[in-house]
Amino acid sequence: MVKTNPASLGSNTLTVVNTAKQAPKVLNTGKQGIDSDSTPPIIAIGTSAGGLEALEQFFTHVPPDCGVAFVVIQHLDPNHQGMLPELLQRVTPLTVTQAGDRMKIAPNWVYVIPPNKDLSILHGKLHLLEPLAPRGLRLPIDSFFRALAEDQHERAIGVILSGMGSDGTLGLRAIKENAGLAVVQTPESAQFDSMPRSAITAGVADIVATPPELWGKILAYLQHSPRGLHAVPEIVLELKNQSALEQIVILLRERTGNDFLLYKKNTIYRRIERRMGLHQIDSIAKYVRYLRENQQELDLLFKELLIGVTSFFRDPAVWESLKTDAIPTLLAQYPAGKSLRAWVAACSTGEEAYSLAIVFKEALVASPSPQPFKLQIFATDLDQDAIDNARQGIYPANIAEDMSAERLSKFFSKEGSGYRINKEIREMVIFAPHNVIMDPPFTKLDLLCCRNLLIYLSQELQKKLILLFHYTLANQGILLLGNAETTGNTGHLFTVIDNKSRLYRRTGTPFPLDVDFPTKFFPIAPMTNDTDKTPSIANLQTLADQLLLQHFSPAAVLVNAGGDILYISGRTGKYLEPAAGKANWNIHAMAREGLRHELIGALKKARGQVEAVHVSGLSVGTNGGSQIVNLTVQAITKPEALNGMLIVVFTDVAAPAVGSAIRKSASAAQKTLQIELQQTREDLQTLREEMQTSQEELKSANEELQSTNEELQSTNEELTTSKEEMQSLNEELQTVNAELQVKVDDLSRASNDMNNLLNSMEIATVFLDNALNIRRFTSHISHLFKVIAADVGRPLSDIVTDLDYPELQQDAQEVLRTLVFVEKQVRARDDRWFKVRIMPYRTQDNLIDGVVITFIDISETKKLEAELRNSDDKTP
């Protein structure tokens, strides 16, 4: 029976259906069923090489009335007609069809991606898209999984089976971000384990099992998760459930130190409900008990609440607006250049932080301003594991879907099967764990990016964070929010740069803001009335101590083992001065001329002994001349708080009187020194000229090396592209090979059936080609022709025969010419008779490719005819 999908719109796809199949039924879960007018739960299955066997093992266990729909995404050869629907239909009672454009998803159906097409989904309808590239790094599984996650949210289910590469990993992450279910085949049971192993390593797998076990585990999840069967309106928690929810928040805070009480209750409950479905727990109170007994489940639930919705250049229009409008305007505010600061809050695994760094680099290149600009990005997240992954800067090959080939080659380098962010981009970002709700914020920012975090928080907390963000930004600083987030009723604090992209610019306000700073590290001191207190004598003592230290004690500094200055006592300007450039509070950088080298030795010596180190008679250069100084360095062991530090004391020494003889000697020495200095200058000039020549030679060599490096890089990119294309071709060939192997098995069985049929009928048959050469024959032909297996390919006329049929060759040629069969009765030796039928040999393409000659033994019939004839002759 031939049947079309009843839910298809305008599709002419035909499907072979078993006529004895029962009508589709709704999954009987013991809960609410599937509304016939709504989209059923959709299970998307991604596979490539070695996937046919896994698919057959999976679908063998799916009943005909399962009540869900399946979409199979496989890496297919774009130039080869797909046989997967036909092959799957043999092992499953479900209706299997090739997906068509605008085809409505129906329960109890299996939809298979067509060759040379990408597949997407919108409001429960499948859509066929033209692939961006015929071969190479095509990721149809990731593409459909992402579309399914955005379309079905928590009702989406993704399954990864056998395959090469990492296609499907990012798609499973998107499904899990939307509270869907992520299922993976065990790598040990897969013919090719790269795809399953990639998903498991990325930490996105909820269920890992062999293909025969997967359906049972998915069914158990559907039966215990009402969101897997039907849409649910906004949740209103009962008082009892509310109490249990608060208990879970308390358990999470005790385990992780993070408070989720200000998160949206609906968001938390959906994540909890998903974990309950995985463990087949039907009440939140039971789940609280399960959490208290299993600390590992608390860790998994914490990870579940921290799923990061992120990818490189997510919402490309936003990053384009940032690059072409917001950042150039920001740079124009600083004509002399500046080191800018940015904060990417809730950065997850670092994609958005690196995207910001890349966009800034591109905007800087496009800027006409030659002034030096740098950007320091602070990227933070609550998840320590995500921060660790972000620091490594290694991402799977799938990221090629999220950016142009130019960006990929310029800012990433190939490493293994994935990509590593280049050093110049990595050094722009500092990653750190941080709780934006509880920890102190970064300040004096020029750009703040916080996308897709506020939507999970209560409105009250959203308002507090917007005020906090305003405080942290410098005047005219840029705020970037997610596409579903706004500044709310605090719009007077920001002007809109691009409302669609959620880009805002900070404005100053003449009124003080009631900023609610995180209190974890900012304890608020109790307010007291100073007028009620009388001045304490301790204040007088403190002031006196400060006066004595400032005017009568020697200048001294307290340093750590590395020379960093921790405390300064007295006036140290004659001995120390700030170094030019970036502020550096290190005594080695600040020591004046004449003091620096002796100070290094004294500090090193003092660290190795208990006694103080004294250095006398040092001449220290000052602005007004020089000063004789005695230096004392003492390592500190007590009190314990200062253990390991050193105190450096500077003591001025009065200069001795100098006589006229000494002056003359000094003058002569000065002249000698000037002569030597002049000679040294000449030597230095010669050396400088030699260095200039060497520098030019090095520059020339460097240019040649740069040219060679560019050629090597170009060759490497070509090899990478070729490798990706070869991998894709290999996967497609593996898939075609599996399908062809099934066909070969079918043909082998059909050949065996045909041979047994012909032999059982005892009809001598010979197949001849267009030249009347033997192509094949049955075993019974040996009773008429002296033919053996080695005679295949020889003309039949060359074979000795028992037939009295000299016109056989001529009749066969006539059949080939006229295509009209010939049938004759022919006599053979030993009084045998045969009915000979010569017919054209037709192929499936309706082409004539020789003749088929059959010989039916009619000896008994002839004998009976003769007997009857004799009987009639004897009858009077």
Q: Report pLDDT digits (tens) over 820-867.
A: 999 999 988 888 899 999 999 988 777 888 999 999 888 888 888 888
Closest by CA position to 74, among listed 96, 103, 104: 96
Closest by CA position to 111, among listed 54, 160, 64, 44: 44
List strand residue ranges (DSSP E) for 164-224, in order.
181-185, 207-209
Q: Which amino acid is at 166?
A: S
Greatest extent of the chain over all pairs of C-alpha atoms, in Å: 182
Q: What is the pLDDT of residue 322?
A: 92
Give the pair of three-digit tokens for residue 739: 């399908």
CB-facing half-sphere around the CA of 645: CA atoms within 13 A: 16
**Which whole-number Å values give the CA distances from 661 to 601, 666, 674, 691, in the listed order?**
34, 8, 20, 44
Dist. CA 722–CA 414, nearest whole Å:
13
Q: Is 48 a catalytic residue?
A: yes
- Determine whether 615 is exposed, middle or buried from the number of CB atoms within 10 Å of its CB (0-12, 13-18, 19+): middle
**Residue 785 bridge partners (DSSP):** 801
**For residues 121 and 148, is the Cβ–Cβ distance under 8 A?**
yes
Contacts of 263 (CB under 8 A, 6+ apart): 305, 456, 457, 458
Dist. CA 128–CA 130, nearest whole Å:
7
- Tell me the pTM: 0.54
Q: What is the pLDDT of residue 308?
A: 66
Give the pair of three-digit tokens for residue 340: 């800018």
Closest by CA position to 272, among listed 233, 310, 239, 237: 237
Q: What is the pLDDT of residue 531?
A: 37
**For residues 332 and 285, is the Cβ–Cβ distance under 8 A?**
no
Q: What is the pLDDT of residue 429?
A: 93
Orientation of helix 295-305 relative to helix 265-279, angle to 10°: 130
Please state which of the four CATH numbers 3.30.70.260, 3.30.450.20, 3.30.70.20, 3.90.190.20 is assigned to the domain occupying 548-653.
Answer: 3.30.450.20
CB-facing half-sphere around the CA of 33: CA atoms within 13 A: 11
- Return the number of other C-beta atoms located less than 10 Å from residue 457's C-beta: 20
- CATH 1.10.155 region(s) of the chain? 239-305
Closest by CA position to 313, among listed 213, 430, 411: 411
Q: Which helix (H) or strand (E) holds 222?
A: helix 211-224
Q: Which residues of the chain have a pLDDT value below 50?
A: 1-37, 136, 229-237, 239, 519-539, 659-661
Residue written as tokens 């507090």? Answer: 464
- Determine whether 469 is exposed, middle or buried from the number of CB atoms within 10 Å of its CB (0-12, 13-18, 19+): buried
Give the pair of three-digit tokens for residue 867: 């007997």
Q: What is the pLDDT of residue 840?
A: 92
List strand residue ranges (DSSP E) for 404-545, in order.
412-415, 418-421, 429-433, 445-450, 473-481, 494-498, 503-506
Q: What is the pLDDT of residue 532?
A: 39
For residue 788, report the phi and psi dihedrals to the nearest 5 degrees: -130, 175
Q: What is the pLDDT of residue 40?
A: 86
Quick check: helix, strand or coil at residue 360? helix
For residue 739, report the phi and psi dihedrals to the nearest 5 degrees: -65, -40
**For residues 488 and 462, is the Cβ–Cβ distance under 8 A?**
yes
Can you name the CATH fold of 316-506?
A: Rossmann fold (3.40.50)
Dist. CA 528–CA 547, nearest whole Å:
29
The CATH code of the domain at 759-867 is 3.30.450.20
- Determine whether 94 is exposed, middle or buried from the number of CB atoms within 10 Å of its CB (0-12, 13-18, 19+): buried
Q: Is 167 a catalytic residue?
A: yes
- CATH 3.30.450.20 region(s) of the chain? 548-653, 759-867
- CATH 3.40.50.180 region(s) of the chain? 2-228
**Residue 851 bridge partners (DSSP):** 768, 840
Q: What is the pLDDT of residue 279?
A: 82
Q: Which amino acid is at 675?
A: I
**For residues 141 and 174, is the Cβ–Cβ distance under 8 A?**
no
Give the pair of three-digit tokens for residue 183: 């299922």
Q: What is the pLDDT of residue 29?
A: 34
Q: What is the dihedral of CA 471, 472, 476, 481, to 10 degrees?
A: -100
Give the pair of three-digit tokens for residue 174: 């998107």
Contacts of 758 (CB under 8 A, 6+ apart): 765, 778
Q: What is the pLDDT of residue 721?
A: 59
**For residues 389 and 336, is the Cβ–Cβ distance under 8 A?**
no
Sign of CA dihedral 392, 309, 431, 251: negative
Give the active site residue among 8, 11, 75, 162.
75
- Return the number of other C-beta atoms located less than 10 Å from residue 160's C-beta: 33
Give the active site residue among 77, 118, 142, 167.
167
Closest by CA position to 835, among listed 809, 862, 863, 855: 855
Q: What is the pLDDT of residue 27?
A: 38
Q: What is the pLDDT of residue 72?
A: 94
Residue written as tokens 């299970």? Answer: 43
Q: Can you say whether residue 30 is alpha, beta or left, with left for phi > 0 and alpha for psi between -120 and 50 degrees?
A: left
Q: What is the pLDDT of residue 875?
A: 64
Give the active site residue among 48, 162, 198, 728.
48
**Residue 432 bridge partners (DSSP):** 380
**For residues 344 and 379, is the Cβ–Cβ distance under 8 A?**
yes
Closest by CA position to 776, among listed 795, 758, 789, 761: 789
Q: What is the pLDDT of residue 340?
A: 92
Q: Which helix (H) or strand (E) holds 47?
A: strand 42-47
In angstroms, how far is CA 616 from the centroid of its own chain? 65
**For residues 451 and 426, is the Cβ–Cβ distance under 8 A?**
no
Sign of CA dihedral 719, 725, 726, 731: positive
Q: Sheet holding 338-344: strands in order across? A: 429-433, 373-381, 338-344, 445-450, 473-481, 503-506, 494-498
Radius of gyration of the chain (CA): 43
SS3 content of the chain, % helix, strand, coil (to 5): 45, 20, 35
Dist. CA 859–CA 510, nearest whole Å:
120
- Determine whether 554 is exposed, middle or buried from the number of CB atoms within 10 Å of its CB (0-12, 13-18, 19+): middle
**Which whole-number Å values give the CA distances from 337 to 326, 497, 871, in the listed order?**
16, 22, 126
Closest by CA position to 305, among listed 279, 278, 267, 276: 267
Quick check: helix, strand or coil at residue 291? helix
- Determine whether 139 is exposed, middle or buried from the number of CB atoms within 10 Å of its CB (0-12, 13-18, 19+): buried
CATH class of 2-228: alpha beta
Enumerate the H helices of 373-507 as residue ranges: 384-392, 405-411, 423-426, 459-472
Give the pair of three-digit tokens for residue 23: 């009508």
Q: Cis (ω within 30 of 0) for the bond into 639?
A: yes
Dist. CA 116–CA 456, nearest whole Å:
39
Can you name the CATH fold of 239-305?
A: Chemotaxis Receptor Methyltransferase Cher; domain 1 (1.10.155)
